[in-house]
């Protein structure tokens, strides 16, 4: 059985790895000259339970986005479903945490299988102000609660002037270089599974081909067709154009994020673990001898002027956080990019009624690194005619269904 996967970001590479592990032959198609070209702004953010924990501490638990809507956000289906999921906050939080935990277990098994080191920075600090501390009813399992003094003693990046009242430390969470990780996995796939896996950069898909109500292949923009028994769309925002002729339109809204990297003057104060401040719009992590700061995500289309303002806000927030880190100003590099987000914060993952043999792994919002592997497992199970595994995994398969939204 042959599957085509569209999009060589982390989602497409993850889907390819899972399908190959299930015995499929796979062709990975990418319109750019190489992998990971579109979302290089992403900082390899937080993994697994860390994402769910930060969302649970938000002012409106259950709504996975800040109240930062652009006036141009006119997607009525998105807003309608956002209100629906906000009214089911506790259930939605539980599903989100379960999904990311499931996904990170798949990630670990795949990295072990292919012998890939993910350059992960172990440990995550979540610095709590008084408001976040009150919202935390009890510490989650595996999370250490530390006093302000204990946190200052353990983390060299923290200054005594950083405004927080307590800290959570998650030793089994952290951040990874998502671009590095997926490139390494792609190399290992090509080396280990060259007979059943191929990568074709510079191949833009123009149309999904079908026969008798199921996927028959894809037509490429530069000519030619690629027959396949199954198709996974993991091409982020590009999937919408291919889905439109099938009558499938997801209630997705654009989510813009900004990030910057910089060298530091005092290397001894590089953070030993990643640092998140729910009250401030950034997460900080280390990449070799540099730091990387990821800003908040903004719902709705942004002008270039607004993106620049967000970059300035991020820069000012990091400098104004009173961390011990001193930046080298001329070394600072900014990125911004846009991804799709769905109202409940989960991706669209799995098969759809729109066309037999078609699966999606899109709309990962700010959880691409964390969620790509769970989405890939759901796609692989559905296309292979089996379940996602345990009853809990089957429940996640339903929760992530592309057909789950109200019209």
Q: What is the DSSP string of 35-56?
A: SS-S-TT----B-THHHHHHHH
Alpha-carbon gap, residue 226 to 127, rounded angstroms:
51
With a CB cutoff of 8 Å and minimum separation 6, the contacts of 174 are: 46, 47, 50, 120, 121, 122, 123, 124, 273, 274, 285
| One-character DSSP codes across 165-215 | SEEEEEEEEEE--HHHHHHHHHHHHHHHSTTTEEEEES--EEEEEEETTEE
Q: Cβ contacts of residue 346 below 8 Å, gap of 6+? A: 95, 96, 99, 371, 399, 400
Lowest mean pLDDT among 10-14, 43-47, 76-80, 391-395: 43-47
Nearest to 148 by CA among 140, 139, 158: 158
pLDDT band of residue 51 (cuts 50, 70, 90) is low
Specify whether the CB–CB gap between 4 and 228 falls below 8 A. yes
Q: Which two tokens stand for residue 1?
A: 């059985």
* Rounded average pLDDT over 235-242: 91
Asked if residues 19 and 25 have their Cβ atoms less than 8 Å apart, the reply is no
Bridge partners of 327, per DSSP, are: 264
Q: Are 379 and 350 in contact (CB under 8 A)?
A: yes
Give the model confidence (pLDDT) of 82-113 as tens digits: 777 766 666 777 788 788 888 888 888 888 88
Assign 38 a pLDDT band (cuts: 50, 70, 90): low
Q: Could you read off the pLDDT of 311-368 as tens digits, one per residue?
A: 888 888 888 887 899 999 999 988 877 788 888 889 999 999 999 999 999 998 877 8
Reply yes or no on whether the pLDDT at 273 is more than 80: yes
Write down all domains in the chain, each with its CATH number in brackets.
2-399 (3.50.50.60)
Q: Helix or strand or coil: residue 306?
A: helix
Give all strands (DSSP E) within 273-387, no chain letters: 274-277, 282-287, 290-299, 333-341, 348-351, 358-362
* 73: phi then psi, degrees, rounded to nearest 5: -80, 100
Tokens describing residue 318: 């990091």
């Amino acid at each position: 059985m042959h599957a085509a996967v569209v999009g060589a970001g982390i989602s497409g590479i993850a889907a390819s790895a899972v399908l190959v592990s299930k015995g499929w032959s796979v062709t990975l198609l990418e319109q750019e000259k190489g992998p990971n070209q579109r979302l290089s702004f992403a900082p390899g953010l937080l993994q697994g339970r860390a994402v769910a924990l930060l969302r649970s501490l938000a002012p409106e638990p259950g709504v996975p986005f800040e109240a930062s809507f652009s006036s141009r956000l006119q997607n009525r289906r998105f807003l309608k479903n956002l209100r629906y999921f906000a009214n089911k906050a506790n259930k939605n939080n539980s599903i989100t945490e379960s999904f990311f935990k499931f996904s990170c277990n798949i990630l670990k098994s795949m990295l072990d299988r292919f012998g890939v080191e993910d350059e992960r920075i172990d440990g995550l600090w979540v610095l709590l102000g008084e408001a976040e501390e009150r919202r935390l009813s009890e510490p989650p399992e595996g999370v250490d609660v530390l006093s302000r003094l204990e946190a200052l003693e353990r983390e060299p990046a923290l200054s005594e002037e950083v405004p927080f009242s307590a800290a959570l430390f998650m030793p089994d969470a952290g951040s990874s270089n998502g671009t590095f990780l997926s490139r390494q996995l792609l190399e290992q796939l090509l080396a280990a599974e060259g007979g059943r896996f191929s990568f074709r950069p510079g191949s833009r898909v123009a149309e999904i081909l079908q026969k008798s109500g199921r996927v028959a292949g894809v037509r490429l923009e530069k000519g030619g067709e690629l027959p396949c028994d199954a198709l996974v769309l993991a091409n982020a925002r590009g999937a919408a154009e291919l889905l439109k002729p099938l009558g499938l339109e997801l209630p997705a809204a654009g989510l813009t994020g900004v990030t910057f990297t910089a060298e530091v003057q005092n290397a001894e104060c590089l953070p030993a673990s990643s640092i998140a401040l729910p009250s401030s719009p950034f997460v900080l992590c280390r990449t070799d001898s540099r730091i990387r700061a990821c800003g908040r995500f903004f719902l709705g289309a942004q002008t270039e002027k607004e993106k620049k303002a967000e970059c300035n806000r991020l820069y000012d927030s990091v400098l104004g956080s009173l961390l011990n880190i001193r930046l080298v100003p001329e070394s600072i590099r900014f990125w911004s990019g846009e991804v799709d987000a769905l109202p409940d914060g989960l991706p669209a993952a799995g098969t759809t009624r729109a066309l037999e043999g078609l699966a999606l792994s899109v709309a990962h919002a700010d959880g691409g690194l964390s969620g790509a592997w769970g989405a890939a497992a759901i796609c692989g199970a559905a296309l292979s005619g089996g379940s996602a595994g345990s009853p809990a995994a089957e429940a996640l398969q339903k929760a992530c269904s592309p057909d789950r939204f109200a019209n």
